[in-house]
Amino acid sequence: MTSAGVPLLGFSTGNIFTFSLDMNCWQIVDSMTPLMKLCDSVDGDELPDGPVGRLLKRRKRPGLLPSIPRTVSASVKESLLEGWLQAVKTAGSSMDYRGLLMTYMQQLVRNRSLSKISGVLNDLNEQGSICGVMRSALREDVEKVVASDPMTSSLLRPNDSGGLLF
């Protein structure tokens, strides 16, 4: 159960679900699919300590198949993290959202996925909050992750207010 009272269910099959109040149905957080063999697993220390993160840490992941191209592995891992972010948004866990967003951004920076970085920055430029965390605070943290890689940072130009623009 999240702090917002949203239920989380983990099954012995490896599937994890949360209940979407918006759609009034169960939403899958994570499942064991053959695609999991195409990407590196996310290390436990990269996962947050919120309710979703704790469930994900308990999961055993299959090992990466040999000779998978790095671009394929990176793309599958990005998709995995994107799914987790959507599920955490549904669950409303601020700790999980912030932690997974930072892990996702580190992955995007490593892969130099500029269009996805741009999408996240644009989303966080809007007013309001996500899972109870102000978008502006999340954007500051995301900008620090992007700035930690000189090559990715060099592909971005700063705007007058000190933030990153594409």
DSSP string for 100-112? HHHHHHHHHHHHT
Distance set, CA 114 to CA 33, 54, 64, 84, 159 (Å): 27, 30, 25, 20, 17
HSE at residue 26, side-chain half, CA atoms within 13 A, is 9
pLDDT given for residue 36 in this prediction: 66
Q: Pick left, alpha or beta for residue 128 (phi over 0 → left; psi -120 to 50 → alpha; otherwise beta).
A: left
- Each domain of the chain, given as residue ranges in start order, spans 8-165
Dihedral pair phi/psi, residue 131, rounded to 5°: 55, 35
pLDDT given for residue 133 in this prediction: 96
pLDDT given for residue 160 in this prediction: 36
Query: What is the Cα–Cα distance from 152 to 108, expressed in whole angstroms?
Result: 10
CB 157 within 8 A of CB 143: no
- Lowest mean pLDDT: which of 12-21, 69-78, 94-103? 12-21
Paired tokens of 132: 């109870």
CB 99 within 8 A of CB 60: no
Tell me the pLDDT tens digit for each residue of 88-147: 998 889 999 999 999 999 999 999 999 999 999 999 999 999 999 999 999 999 999 999
Mean confidence (pLDDT) of the chain? 83
91 or 162, higher pLDDT: 91
Query: What is the Cα–Cα distance from 27 to 149, expressed in whole angstroms?
Result: 35
CB 24 within 8 A of CB 90: no
